[in-house]
Structures are given as structure tokens and as C-alpha cells.
A and B are shown apart, each in its own frame.
Chain A
Amino acid sequence: MNRFFAAIERNWKQGRVSGPLIGGLAILFVILLVSLIGPFFVDPHNAQVGALAPRRPPSAQFLLGTDAQGRDLWTLLVYGTPNTLKMGLIAGIIGVGVGLTLGLIAGAVGGVVDAVIRILSDALLTVPAIAILVIIAGNVDRMTTGIMALVVASLAWMFTARTVRAQVLTIRERSYVEVARVNGQSALSILFAEIMPNLLPYIVASFVGTVGSAILAVIGLEALGLGALEETTLGNTIYWSQQSAAVLRGYWWWWGPPIVVIAAIFLGLFLTSVGFDRFANPRLAGRS
């Protein structure tokens, strides 16, 4: 344990472990913690329609009040946050996984395959995500959080693919790869031994970014009413509040807390990505 702290201190001095990184990770950690252990402390029945007196502002008993359908906001948050996070993480993992594979193939194989992947990813990158997502989501009969994650993932791979491809192309030309090739190492083993380790920082950075945009897309779809309406998510809670004109009627406790949690998630992701940049790129470190 001591060695771990010593390593942290050393990296802090170098500027690699910095305020943003720690802050960002801390925020995400707290949110994750609440998501994981929160459900144990809350009565799930409070999240059902008609459970409690509706439209109550925050009180000692119900810290965040209730919505127009008589659901306890705190319970909604506690159940909604992990659902939203889950969708973001699944979409993130799939997106980065697909992106990594396609990027590796494009960079390593080259030629027509590379051209096809590149054109496809560029074309999709420049399309407004909401447009395609609306079409797909609008044609799904029964939406669940799982399907939402898949739908969002379908447009989440491009950035990772692009980044990975660019990196593979650069690394391929580096001398140590040449040396490995000349030495007779098989292409696959070169891939894993030389190229992958150098890709790691980019993969991590892409992951953070992809999760962020996935959650953004999910919330966007939910805002339009295309979400998994039977499940509790942060976006759906806001959607229901909009349907009941909660803003105009002054029920700030309904849409306020979910917004705060969402903002916190994004802030955490953003700080983590800024901090990670400094960690991965020592040239940016030491600049405080």
C-alpha cells in the first residue's frame, strides 16, 4: 500500500497525476458508489406510480419530494442513475470494442478495406446522431435499456476507429516495428506485443469520451420520448417531468436533481479525460 502511495506522490510531483484527474475520478467514484449500494437502502416500491402523495416538495421524510405520479424522487434517482450508467457503459464498451477492431484492421491491412472503413466512419461521423438514432429507435417496437445501449453503440464506434487507425499507421512506421518484422515476428504477435501497448492510452481516452457521448445520446433519445419508457432512468425522469409541464408549474425538485446528477457524471468524465491526457502525455504534465 505504501508503495502505491509513494508512486502516486511521485507522479503528482511530475504533474502526471493532477487535480482534474483526481477530481474527475472522485466524482465518478461517488456516483458509482451511490448507484451500487443505494438500492439496498431504498424501498423500491416508492418508485412505482401511485405509491405516495403526488407533487410533494422536498420534506424531511422524502428528501427530494415526489413527482406527479406519486413516485419518490430519491428512489427514482437511486434506481435511475445505475440504469443510465449501464447504458452508457455498455454502449461505451461495444463502441470502443468495435472501433478498436475496425481501426486495427483498417490500419494493419490497408488498401480497399481501409478505404471502406475510413469512408464509412467519416460519413457517419458527420451525420447528426440524433437523426439516425431517431429512425432506428422509432422503428423498434418495445424499447428496453439494453436495446437503447445497442442502438447508441451503433454510432459510437467511429471516433475510436479513427483514432486507433491513425495510431496504428504511425506506429507501423516506427523503427521498432520494422525491427520486429525483419526479425521474423508474425504479424499477429507484432500487433499484440508492439502496437497494442502503445494504443492503450488512446483506448482509455476514447472510452471515456465514448461513454460520455453515449450517455448524451441516450438522454437525447429519452427526451424525445423514444427511451425505454417502462424503465427508470435519469433521462426518462426528466422526460416525464416535461410531459407534466413541471418546469412551468414550478416542481423544480422533479427535474432539478436528475439534471444535477447528469451534470456531475459529465463533469466527472470531462475532468477524468483532461486529467488522463496529462497522465498519458508527460509533455502536458508539469504545466500547472
Chain B
Amino acid sequence: MTGERATSSAGQKPVLVVEDLQVVYETPAGPAKAVDHVSFSLRPGERLGLIGESGSGKTTIATALMRLTRAPGRIVGGKILLDGADVMQMTPTQLRASRLKDIALMPQGAMSSLNPVMQLEGQIIDAIVAHSPKMSRAALDARVDALLAQVGLNPEVRRRYPHELSGGMKQRAVMAIATSMQPKVIVADEPTSALDVVVQRQVMQTLGRLQGGLGAAVVLIGHDMGLIAQFADIVGVMYAGKLVEIGPVSQVIDAPRHPYTRLLIDSLPRIDIKKPLTGIRGLPPHLIDLPPGCGFGPRCPYAFDRCSLETPSMQDVAPAQKAACHLYPRNKSLPPLSARAERAQA
């Protein structure tokens, strides 16, 4: 499951274009920039994995793509083009029509995303009927059965209530709903967080299969680098609300260009090589009180004076790979960490 499939998508028009997206949370202590000028684009069939720590803005992007941002959050700038249509300009009716049909969400916490007092089939039919109101009862029933079968669920669970389903089953049910209208983009927000590894694998395989069948693009959000490495074609690294690096997954993992990405990958425990566990010293900044200059500066082992004065912007650092770091274009790649700096990270 590496990134060598879907080369047929190359050359096609992008199905999702995000340009300079800005989302702000109004807190009593001031506005917090949860998503700060994030841009990326996806072609049909492509899989983007967004990775970052908690609070880096990944889930905020997920909800923002469908304009589901809840108060006190607000989208304050940027453009979202869904298959050419400007999402920010859509009327409420158009927006509702595009949700699920063009872009579908698999929310974080699928466990609690199902209405506890409705049977499963009711929740699936709800979604279908909202977009195709004229379907006959028989056609709806057939569709429900087909959808459940597609995600590997026994059709007899359709009459069950959410509390009668296991965690993995609920996740699949949510997947069934998300793919019911054959969307062009699927946004999967931490689809496997609460599941054990065996079920995780099954769920990811199902997701991959469904997505392939639909030819849909996927935005996979998570904090598990291993999972993203296995599933995604492109990986985007988020830090403190900004996209700091983006590029083809194998390229980024083999040769990360941004210091944060490098430290993140280094901190992954490995079975093959024995080395001491490292972390990244320091804590992510408060989004209200961002330090001037680069958000990662205070924790970065490569930091120099420019880093605390000027915020770096995304630039090409390698074919199809971008990073936001002042080390470029002066350097070709990350210089090796000095031994002292390496020890300081442990």
C-alpha cells in the first residue's frame, strides 16, 4: 500500500483546492489562529495524510472544508474550491447539497457520531433521502443493504441501535454513510484512534477499497506517522496551525526537509534499529500567544537569528516537495544535527 498507485490521476484537474485557509477561535483571552494560511490541492484518487500533534489544527481543517466549523471557531479567510465550486460562496442550500454528495466526513470519534435513539438504517436512509428525495422505499432498502455489505457489515445490523454495535462496527457504519452518495472527496478524521490494531488495519483496508472504487480523493488526518506512511500518497505536516512541509510520502520520510518533520520521524520507535527513545523538547506554543517569527523556532535545533524575526513561507525544496523553513533555499537538505543538539533532544 505505497504511493505507486493512482498515477492515472496525474494530469487531471484537482478536485480539492485549498488556498490560504484561515480559521480563528475566539477565546476570552483573545483570538487563536487554529489554521493559519494553509494551502494544498488534491487530484481525484489522491490520498493526502495530514499529520501533527494535538492542537496543530488538523481537525479544524477537516470541519472547515465543509464549513462545519462550530462557534467559537470561524473561517476568516481563504478559498476552498471543491471540483471548481467555491465553497465559501455557497448558499446554505447549496452547501447542504454538496455535503455528503461531493465531500464526505468521517468524523473523529465515530463512536459518538451516530444518533443513539435512531436505528442504523434510519440514519443511512436519512442521508440518502436528503440528497435523492424521490427514491422508492424498495430502492432505499436495496441501497442500504449494498452499502452495509460494501463495508463488510452484515445487513441484519441495519435494525440495530448504535449502542448495540462494537467500536469497529460503528466506524464501518460511519464509513458506509460517508460513501453512500459517492463523494469526490472523503475527509477521514482520525478514523482509527479508538480501535485496536487489528481492527485498525481492517478499517483502513476497507477505506482504501471504497475510495479506490469511487475514485475519490482522501484527506486522512491523524497523528500516527506509521499509519499515514502506509496509506497516504502525499503527507502534509502541521505545526501550530501552519503547514510546515508537504510532499510525496516516501520522499518526505526518507529525506524530510523541515526540522520538525525530521524530529517527528526520529521519535518513532523502530523495530529494526535499536536506539534511545527521543522526543522533541519543549511544548507547542499557545495559539493565542504565538512567538514572532517561525512557530517552531523555540524548539528547533537548527534555529538561528532570522527564525525569531521572520515567519518562513512555503517554498519548493525538492521536486513536488515544499517546506516552510529559513534553512532553504540556502541548503539542499537538512544538515546533520550536531551531536550536542541530538543529545539535547533526548
Contact = CB atoms under 8 A, between A and B. Distances in A.
Q: Are A and B close enough to touch in the complex, i.e. CB under 8 Å?
A: yes
Interface in A14-36: 14-15
Interface in B6-27: none
A15 B72 CA distance: 15
Nearest to B27: A286
A13 interface: yes
A286 B28 CA distance: 7
Chain B interface mostly: loop
Nearest to B29: A13
Nearest to A286: B28
A15 B28 CA distance: 9
A30 B28 CA distance: 32
A13 B29 CA distance: 9
Interface string B23-55: 000001000000000000000000000000000
Nearest to A15: B28
A192 B8 CA distance: 71
Contacts of A286: 28
Contacts of A14: 28
A207 to B, nearest CB: 30
Contacts of B28: 13-15, 286
A14 B28 CA distance: 7
B224 to A, nearest CB: 29
B267 to A, nearest CB: 29
A108 B28 CA distance: 40
A281 to B, nearest CB: 16
A241 to B, nearest CB: 49
A15 B27 CA distance: 12
Interface string A1-15: 000000000000111
Contacts of A15: 28
Interface string A254-288: 00000000000000000000000000000000100
Nearest to A288: B28
A53 B28 CA distance: 61
Contacts of A13: 28
A13 B28 CA distance: 8
B27 to A, nearest CB: 8
A242 to B, nearest CB: 47
Nearest to A285: B28
A13 B30 CA distance: 12
Interface in B238-260: none
Nearest to B28: A286
B190 to A, nearest CB: 24
Nearest to A13: B28
A174 to B, nearest CB: 24
Interface in B249-282: none
Interface in A161-206: none
A99 to B, nearest CB: 33
A286 B72 CA distance: 11
B49 to A, nearest CB: 33
A57 B81 CA distance: 74
A13 to B, nearest CB: 7
B134 to A, nearest CB: 42
4 contacts: A13-B28, A14-B28, A15-B28, A286-B28
Interface of A: 13-15, 286
Interface of B: 28
3 nearest A-B residue pairs (beta carbon): A286-B28, A13-B28, A14-B28
